Structure 1
Amino acid sequence: MLKPKGYIRLLAGMLTMLGLLWSGSAPAAEQETTVHQAVAVLDKIMEIPESAIPPSLLANAYGIAIIPGVVKGAFIIGGRYGEGVLLVRTPGGGWSNPTFLSIGGGSFGWQIGGQSTDVILVFKSQRSIEDIKRGKFTLGADAAVAAGPVGRRVEGATDVMLKAEILSYSRSRGFFAGVSLEGSVLNILWQDNAAYYGRQNVTVEDIFSGRVRGPASATTLRRTVDTYAP
């Protein structure tokens, strides 16, 4: 049987090992998978111009969130849950590294049903980007959200679409369209950010400003977004 000092040494050793694992430079596999899925989702949605997000909207976007595989969660009564990434426009016109975020609750429209659905949010204002940095953001309350138009042009967009600060889209079973996400809540996933960037106390501002370097997958994601939203 270990003496008290022995337990202390054992506990100290375990905590040290956990700290090393937490602060490792290699991104966690789960976050890497999310980033790769985000690239695939954006490529798939944009491959057919007639049913894609209008290029003019993306060209003027301040931010874009890509959330692959939103599913109906048993622990969220009447709602959905998914995890994805958010990138913002940099002062130089490019795109930042991604911060991880979740979406939950709210109504996702009839076309989602009970199956897995990919969600994209296009942020049209800098104000909504600044608000989301606080960590929690409610669509429809903190900023107006509307189902976005699809196609090569935005002539068919309604006044509601044009006035909304955030436009939302979904893709399910190959069908892509604008979808209302009123009442859904976005939360920054601080632990996912820490795991991906290898820094326990990394902030959203650190990520968006480029103060931390991202893994190779972050570069791939940035370049993909820049292809469709130069």
Structure 2
Amino acid sequence: MLTRFRQFAPWFAVFVLSCAMGASAMAGERQDARLLTSTQVLSELMRMPEQNIPTWLLERAYAVAVIPSVIKVGLGIGGRRGKGVLVVRKDTGQWSNPIFINLTGGSFGFQVGVQSADVVLVFTSKQSIEGIVGGKVTLGADASVAAGPIGRQSSAATDIGLTAQVYSYSRASGLFAGVALDGSAITIDSNSNEAFYKRPGILASEIIRSDAPAAPSPADQFIAAVQQSATGGAPAPSSAPPAQPAGQPAAPSSTASSSAPASSGVQTYPMEDPNPGQEPPQ
């Protein structure tokens, strides 16, 4: 019996290792798929002129989260569950590497049925972001949440009291509108972060650090979609000047020519509104 076990032990070890590697590869594919789906959701929403998130709201965002296919089940007592990604705006105005997150919540009252919806959250305060990086934030308790303005309401900003820390949106059955998510909790999806960044025990604070290495693809596609949504298509801000095309003379300095056209690049920086609701953007 012992001899037979020794004979098959190497094959058994290879089988276990193969299963582990296969599970790891599948986990990586799940994170890639989540990023690609989140990119598609945000891009599609911003292409809906009458129902998209106002650009001026995204410009003042400290973070943006996209949670595709949030499942809401109701049978007297309802609950919702979804997995998504979140990026934080850095001091430079650029967006951080994505953090994988979970959204869970419950609700009471008469409700029956199952519904799937795409959820987008816009965070407009430092406090709400600190809670997430710390591991968990409960909407409505740790951070005030409200259904966000959409589409044409962006031109009537003077009528909107911008006092919430988080603005929430939902798209279900092709319709896009603000949604109430009081009581829902956002937590860090540690397993997905470890699988995607291939670092056991990696923390959210490490992922969003300014000196963190670039995230694996397709994270860059999601970051680009957030940047485009927040700036109306302007390129991401960069501290380095653009490269001079080969064969072209160097651009004159400001002292040599005062008539040189100014750069049209747009940069955005996190800036909390000191008087929310009183001085809306023009």
Structures share a fold, TM > 0.5? yes
2:224 equivalent to 1:223: yes
Would you say the 8 A contact 2:73–2:114 is kept in 1? no
For 1:50-89, list aligned pairs within 5 A.
50-73=50-73, 78-89=78-89
- Read off the aligned partner of 1:140 and give its amino acid letter: G
For 1:176-195, list aligned pairs within 5 A.
176-195=176-195
Would you say the 8 A contact 2:61–2:123 is kept in 1? yes
In the alignment, what sits opposite 1:158?
Answer: 160
Would you say the 8 A contact 1:27–1:197 is kept in 2? no
Is the alpha carbon distance of 1:220 and 1:79 closer, same or farther for their aligned partners in structure 2, counting shifts above 3 Å? same
- Read off the aligned partner of 1:89 and give its amino acid letter: R
User: What is the deviation of 1:190?
Assistant: 0.2
Is the alpha carbon distance of 1:101 and 1:108 closer, same or farther for their aligned partners in structure 2, counting shifts above 3 Å? farther
User: What is the deviation of 1:176?
Assistant: 0.3
2:106 equivalent to 1:106: yes
Q: TM-score, normalised by structure 2?
A: 0.70
Is the alpha carbon distance of 1:43 and 1:21 closer, same or farther for their aligned partners in structure 2, counting shifts above 3 Å? same
In the alignment, what sits opposite 1:175?
Answer: 175
Matched residues in 2 for 1:224 and 1:134: separation? Answer: 26
Would you say the 8 A contact 1:121–1:167 is kept in 2? yes
User: What is the deviation of 1:113?
Assistant: 6.1
CA RMSD of aligned residues (A): 3.3
Would you say the 8 A contact 2:41–2:68 is kept in 1? yes
Would you say the 8 A contact 2:62–2:126 is kept in 1? yes
Is the alpha carbon distance of 1:113 and 1:62 closer, same or farther for their aligned partners in structure 2, counting shifts above 3 Å? farther
SS at match of 2:218: helix
Matched residues in 2 for 1:157 and 1:107: separation? Answer: 29
- Read off the aligned partner of 1:60 and give its amino acid letter: R
User: What is the deviation of 1:65?
Assistant: 0.5
Matched residues in 1 for 2:99 and 2:172: separation? Answer: 24
Is the alpha carbon distance of 1:13 and 1:33 closer, same or farther for their aligned partners in structure 2, counting shifts above 3 Å? same
User: What is the deviation of 1:73?
Assistant: 4.9
Q: TM-score, normalised by structure 1?
A: 0.85
Matched residues in 2 for 1:50 and 1:57: separation? Answer: 15
Matched residues in 1 for 2:215 and 2:19: separation? Answer: 20
User: What is the deviation of 1:183?
Assistant: 0.3
- Read off the aligned partner of 2:160 and give its amino acid letter: T
Is the alpha carbon distance of 1:106 and 1:218 closer, same or farther for their aligned partners in structure 2, counting shifts above 3 Å? same
Matched residues in 1 for 2:225 and 2:109: separation? Answer: 28
In the alignment, what sits opposite 1:125?
Answer: 125
In the alignment, what sits opposite 1:36?
Answer: 36
Would you say the 8 A contact 2:73–2:113 is kept in 1? no
SS at match of 1:52: coil
Superposed CA deviations along residues 95-147 of structure 1, whole A, max 9, x for unmatched, are 1111111111134999x962210000000011110111111111000010000
In the alignment, what sits opposite 1:146?
Answer: 146
User: What is the deviation of 1:156?
Assistant: 6.2
Superposed CA deviations along residues 189-220 of structure 1, whole A, max 9, x for unmatched, are 00000111111121111111152431120011
Would you say the 8 A contact 1:140–1:183 is kept in 2? yes
In the alignment, what sits opposite 2:196?
Answer: 196
Give the gaps of 5 or more residues in structure 1: none
Matched residues in 1 for 2:62 and 2:53: separation? Answer: 15
Would you say the 8 A contact 1:138–1:183 is kept in 2? yes
State which structure, 1 or 2, has the greater radius of gyration over its C-alpha atoms: 2
Matched residues in 1 for 2:114 and 2:85: separation? Answer: 22
Would you say the 8 A contact 2:73–2:115 is kept in 1? no
